[in-house]
Structure 1
Amino acid sequence: MKRIAAFCLALSLAACQSTEQGQTENMGNNGAHNNIAPKPLYRDPGFDGAADPIVMWNPAEQRWFMFYTNRRASVEGLSGVAWVHGTPIGIAESTDGGVTWSYKTDAKINYPYAPKNEPATYWAPDVFENDGIYHMYLTIVPGVFEDWRHPRTIAHFTSTDMLNWDYVSTLKLNTQKVIDADVVKLPQGGYRMFYNDEPDGKSVYYADSPDLYTWFDQGKAKLTSRGEGPTTFFWNDYWWLVVDAWKGLAVYRSTDLENWQQQDSYLVAEPGTGEDDGINGGHPDVIVEDGKAYLFYFTHGGRVGENKGKDNYQTRRSSIQVTELKFDNGWLKADRNAPTKMTLKK
């Protein structure tokens, strides 16, 4: 309740009433029917800054979890990009196969080096399960800053319940300014992590590990363009790497996770017609189940019309969206305006 109260104080009465209505919908049936996912899929009821989604099944609780960076969009008086710092990792949950979501809690990140007198800055979690242990690879910024010029590292945490996360180590990667980890199990054994190296023009790099604990940097991935928020998955006989290219999502395919071909078109690049979906999508996650693939992404739904180019609550807030991917002539397509019928069943 404190989170919602703080949110309301940051808005005008009219905006707050609208937000409360949206929260009620997200925590109830969200306007969804016949398993059709609503637009937007989810907005955080506190800071209203849900971004960078990662969707995971929680077998102990028998529900889907969505981890996300919760940017402080609703907090007044933050200058520069301080609102993108001091960010907790929110957790939303779904009991109906991913159609409707409600806020559950913030992840408890037991990071021993967190600032003592200001909020910790946590970005872009990736969660990977192995033998009943959950591994989180989390971007950490050492403080709250008004610009982008500060170090950021990727740290490793483990959990048995997906709620409480214990610090293991900070990874030694190509530089001390890296973000957006994504881990995949290699078919030949071991694991690969793709991440964004900011000093090298925000290029995608990768590291390998035999055990999820010790990582060896392998340098730059063989991609033909830059981007952040990489996500990797196997579907229809190809490995896919989808990357936030800031103008939609760039798509690459591979048969060996080494050599990549880029798709000519970008996913969710053209504005959609759904609520909060009228702008390009960013930082994705993909769930593959029963032969279908679902693309989760976030949007800054208020960065349109008279607000375009401004810095205010409407342009800072963000929403999570979902659309189904289609395999077409060897490549990926997504019609973000088509109804998305969710079938997540685990």
Structure 2
Amino acid sequence: MLAVLALLAADPVAAVPLFRDPVHDGAADPSTVHDPKTGEWVMFYTNRRADLKLADPKDVSWVHGTAIGVARSKDGAHWRYSGTAAIPASCTGATLWAPEVQRFGDKWHMWITVVPGVFKDWNAPRFLVHLTSRDLKRWDCGERVELDSDRIIDASVLELPQGGYRLWFNDERMGKAIRWADSKDLKNWTVRGTAVTTPGEGPKAFRWRGRWWLISDAWKGLLVQHSSDGEHWTAQPGHLAGEPGTRPTDRAKAQHPDVIVAGDRAYLVYFVHQSGEPEAAKDPDWGRRSVLQIAEIAEKDGILSIDRTKPVTMRLGK
């Protein structure tokens, strides 16, 4: 009996992959929050149409026409598909990317990248829209975020210790630099600086173990930076998870991360293309498919690392 109780009380081990979209098999760009009303964890992600058959290999319409998928979990280790987010078309567009979900005050807030159409190439305007929700299910239109550029993607937002809010984003008109803006009301933003000029996307800012951290997708692994004030950044050498992993479904570089901070522990959630899997040898389109994976973050002397071969025990609390 004691052995059974100990087994039941053990921390759950995360599935590998953590999540695979059952509709289009193209889960990417995750944002994960805890819902105190239901006690569940909720993950929003870009629902890429990786199964779309296209005659032209250069046609990128499969990453357009995308909804925002939703997955739910009781323990953070095992996830179930929960449909797509109820986001109004009236203030967004045909293509939705890279949700960023946070709770401030008595509301949930989402910043989402909008592309106003379905395009076969990358030459289209892109901008951020702010949405709000009371229940993480139905979203209401807010405002378009004005950041002095017509090619803005990938928001990450934090509340500042001194009051107000900071938003990090990718400005494609500035060589895909990661820039930042401040706001007092989550509606009006003032661009204040550049966090890194190294080209990249998918920034994720968080505070952990007495430091600010900024992790972004540099397309050859993840660029990790730390800061004492959230304004001046120091990059750690190399790239995190730039080499393919060895587990099935994890055999490519990590891309566009999310971070779940749970007290002294933190977890990196990232997406992985399936180009390194056996199916890709037979199907040239298999590499479009992508799944979500998770690894626990280790920190030593201001350097972050992960071990992609190690089973991940989830101890999230609330």
User: Does the pair score TM above 0.5?
Assistant: yes
| 2: CA distance, partners of 1:270 / 1:35 | 27
Offset, 1:311: 4.9
Superposed, 1:76-115 pairs within 5 Å as: 76-77=53-54, 79=56, 80-95=59-74, 97-113=75-91
State the 1:213 CA deviation.
Answer: 1.6
Given the two structures, how large is their TM-score scaled by the length of structure 2? Answer: 0.92
Q: Output the aligned Cα RMSD.
A: 1.7
- Unaligned residue ranges in structure 2 (runs of 5+): 1-9
Alignment deviations for residues 61-118 of structure 1 (CA, whole Å, 9 cap, x no partner) = 21000000000011224750000000000000001x2000000120010131456xxx
Matched, 1:184 2:163: no
Summarize the alignment of residues 219-298 of structure 1 with structure 2, pairs less than 5 Å apart.
219-221=193-195, 223=196, 225-298=198-271
Correspondent of 2:109 among 135, 138, 146 = 135
1:305 CA drift (Å): 6.7
SS in 2 for 1:277: coil
Q: How does 1:1-346 map to 2 (within 5 A)?
A: 35-77=12-54, 79=56, 80-95=59-74, 97-113=75-91, 120-221=94-195, 223=196, 225-303=198-276, 307=280, 311-312=284-285, 314-346=286-318
Stretches of 4+ aligned residues off by more than 4 angstroms: 303-306
Aligned partner of residue 167 in structure 1, secondary structure: strand
Q: Distance in 1 between matches of 2:153 and 2:288?
A: 20
Could you tell me how far 1:133 is from its partner in structure 2?
0.2
> Structure 1 residue 334: deviation in Å?
0.6
SS at match of 2:298: strand
Unaligned runs of 5+ in 1: 1-32
What CA deviation, in whole Å up to 9, does each residue of 1:214-260 have, x standing for no partner? 11122422x25221000011111110000100011000000001100
Counterparts of 1:41 and 1:111 in 2: how far apart (Å)? 30
TM-score normalised per structure 1: 0.85
How far has the Cα of 1:294 moved from its partner?
0.3
- 1:303 to partner: Cα distance: 4.4
Aligned pairs, number: 306
Query: Taking structure 1 as reference, are residues 166 and 121 closer, same or farther at Cα in structure 2, changes over 3 Å only?
Result: same
What letter corresponds to residue 112 of structure 1 in structure 2? Answer: S
Retained in 2: the 8 A contact 1:271–1:277?
A: yes
Separation in 2, partners of 1:122, 1:311? 25
Structure 1 pair 306–47 and aligned structure 2 pair: CA distance change class (3 A): closer
The alpha carbon displacement at 1:286 in A equals 0.5
Contact 2:41/2:73 (<8 A) preserved: yes
Return the alpha-carbon distance in structure 2 between the equivalents of residues 123 and 286 of structure 1.
Answer: 18
Counterpart-to-counterpart distance in 2, 1:254 and 1:57: 26
Q: Which amino acid aligns with 1:243?
A: S
> Aligned partner of 1:158: which letter?
T
Instruction: Provide the secondary structure at the position in 2 that maps to 1:112.
Output: helix
Which residue of the partner structure matches residue 4 of structure 2? none
